[in-house]
Amino acid sequence: MSEHRKITTIDAAGELLDWSIRVLLDYHSPLPSIALATAADNILAHIVRAKEGHLSLKEALALERHSHPRENPEPMDTLRDLIRYGQRDDWLMAGRDLETEAIELIARGIIDLHGLGGTVSYEAERFRHWVLQARPELREDEG
C-alpha cells in the first residue's frame, strides 16, 4: 500500500515551477515548461483571489472554468490562452520566442510564490544563475 503525500496549494505551485525549470534547463523544451509554469500561475492566481477576500478558492476555480480569452491579449496572455483554452490558430505560434516567454513566466511565478510565502527551491536559484549566464540580454540594468 502506498502512502499519500499531503501537500499545500502553495507547495503544489512551487513543485510545478520546479518542474517547469527542470524541463527548460535540462531538456531544453520551452513549450512544456510554459504549460507547467502556466499551471503554477493559475494556482497562484487563485490563492491571491482567495486571500483578497472577494472570492473563495472554490468560487475562483468555478469562474475560471467559465471565463474566456481576452479580446486584445498581450503576447504572453495569448500563449497562456492557447494552453488554457486549446485554441488552435497557427498565427499564435508564428515567430514566438518560446524560451523567452518560458523565462518570463517562470520568473513571475517565482516572484509571486515568494510574495505569498512559498518556499523558493534550489531550482529557482539554478534558474537565476542560468538566465544570468545564458541570456544576459534579459538582465535589468543596474544603473
- Provide the pLDDT for residue 61: 52
Burial of 96 (0-12, 13-18, 19+ CB in 10 A): middle
- pLDDT, tens digit (0-9, with 9 covering 90-100), for 7-50: 899 999 999 999 999 999 999 999 999 999 999 999 998 888 77
Q: For residue 126, what is its C-alpha cell? A: 539554478
Asked if residue 33 is part of any domain, the answer here is: yes
Q: For residue 111, what is its C-alpha cell? A: 516572484
Using DSSP, how many helices (H) and how many strands (E) does the chain show? 7, 0
Say which range, 19-28, 41-50, 103-112, 129-138, has the weakest mean pLDDT.
41-50
- pLDDT, tens digit (0-9, with 9 covering 90-100), for 45-92: 888 877 776 555 555 555 554 444 444 445 455 556 655 555 545 545
Query: In the structure, what pLDDT confidence band is assigned to residue 2 with cuts at 50, 70 and 90?
Result: low
How many folded domains does the chain comprise?
1
Asked if residue 1 is part of any domain, the answer here is: no
Asked if residue 84 is part of any domain, the answer here is: yes
- Provide the pLDDT for residue 96: 67
Q: Is the pLDDT of residue 118 over 70?
A: yes
Domain boundaries, position 52: 9-136
Asked if residue 143 is part of any domain, the answer here is: no
Query: In the structure, what pLDDT confidence band is assigned to residue 124 with cuts at 50, 70 and 90?
Result: very high
Cα–Cα distance measured from residue 10 to residue 113, given in angstroms and rounded to the nearest whole number: 7
Asked if residue 142 is part of any domain, the answer here is: no
Asked if residue 2 is part of any domain, the answer here is: no
Asked if residue 81 is part of any domain, the answer here is: yes
